[in-house]
A = this chain, B = another copy of it.
């Protein structure tokens, strides 16, 4: 068994993954928004404790940025960890087995390639579209790390050089257009008023001081709200342009799209396909297929485990 850890924007998860890639046990806790470095570490140590006996290796996915492969992590939404030596601390705790760590979006892409929608595809990009837009790149059947472990950052491919400012400091990145908060902000500015459905999935009545989610936007789009539908077209078109660029550069077979926004289905994938097919015109580029990610909430754990279990494909570092 491999101990797999997924340190994400909304939760910490830990579990055991079998050699076949099955998650046989897992626990989750909400990601603490604050707390010092050691408090966060102790919380993680408690979470993994029940899964720590006789593991053959430890695989970790963690939000970036980070140094790689050293694994000093500075997750954007966890100010308590800035340059925290997560890989080294876990290696101290598990001294006799390999401990490996990668970006969480990379782990999701690895999971789709190893056990999800990307099985059998040697050249794929696995994308996540939610609060941010991230990804991982597999070419020639191997995970591509790039010079510093940061290959796969599809969210910062430029889709409109004069477009909206991006959190990275640039302008017109895919993420600036298509990330959930960017989309909801755009829709609100266009006059969108989130609807109230009064059911279990409802976020409650709209008030200007409440945070609205991309999920609400997608639901309103499905219900026919014009602005919400335009927001989905806006995101889908940007995704299609970025995928066309990635396909030209990397000669991809397949792109998988996961994350909250991908739940919008045809409202997102329709405009995505239209933009992609309009731009990807060379014969080799027309081959590319785009499909939803297949694995659910366990994907991060499966991908993290693959860093150990399928190291010949997914771990190039020492």
Contact = CB atoms under 8 A, between A and B. Distances in A.
A248 B152 CA distance: 7
Determine how many copies of this chain the complex contains.
2
Nearest to A172: B279
A256 interface: no
Interface of chain A, main secondary structure: loop
Interface residues of A, number: 54
A151 B250 contact: yes
A158 B173 CA distance: 12
Interface string A149-190: 111111111111100001011111100000000000000000
26 contacts: A137-B249, A139-B144, A139-B151, A146-B250, A148-B284, A148-B287, A150-B282, A150-B284, A151-B250, A152-B251, A153-B249, A153-B284, A153-B285, A156-B282, A157-B245, A157-B248, A158-B245, A160-B160, A160-B161, A166-B281, A168-B282, A170-B278, A170-B279, A171-B279, A173-B248, A245-B249
Interface of A: 65, 122-123, 137, 139-140, 142, 144-161, 166, 168-173, 237, 241, 244-246, 248-253, 275, 278-285, 287, 316
